[in-house]
Structure 1
Amino acid sequence: MCPSRTIGRRAPTPLPGAPAQNERNWAASCLFVRKGYRGQGLTAALLFGGLGFAREGGARLVEAAPMDNEGKRSADGLYVGPESVFRRAGFAVFARPKPGRLLMRFAF
């Protein structure tokens, strides 16, 4: 896992100079909650559970590329999770590679 950037519709890719091989850098991705179960705090529960798992596994940081909460987004576009959930969990923005997309980091 490493700091990443998004290009077009492609998945995040490493930022120049990023420590891509550090096994203590983890990523949180794809927190999709099925329709009918949304709005119940499940995304936050998944994220908090993942942070606990990462801490127990020896992670020094967890990075994510959620969608920002500006404007209306489709549920399909939020499969990576909304920015607000990551902010509430203690993640901080460290890059904005393109409009609507953030790179956030949680350090233990």
Structure 2
Amino acid sequence: AGSVLPGDEAPVAEPEPWAALLPGLDPAVMGWRGRDWYLRPEDVPALFDRAGNAGPTVWWCGRVVGGWAQRADGEVVWRLFEDVGAEAVAAVGAEAERLVG
């Protein structure tokens, strides 16, 4: 059951597209046993070790779409598991640059 405050019945606007690079063991990934609502089952082996620990994840609009790492020289590298479009690629690239920045 949910509650709606008086005067707050209007539809909520769709949020702007967003990208994020979250670190390994981040609670957003680790806190859920059932992950199918934000992570494709076929991508789990690429992101989780046998103990269930998550590595660094690439997010696009509320879904895990890839993984990332930081090389010894500081460069952030990332890989997408699916085609999420040019806007996503640009946004993820910008986030990677921001982390190095």
- Pair in the same fold by TM > 0.5: no
If you compute each CA radius of gyration, which structure gives the higher value, 1 or 2? 2
Report the TM-score, using the length of structure 1 for normalisation. 0.25
Report the TM-score, using the length of structure 2 for normalisation. 0.26
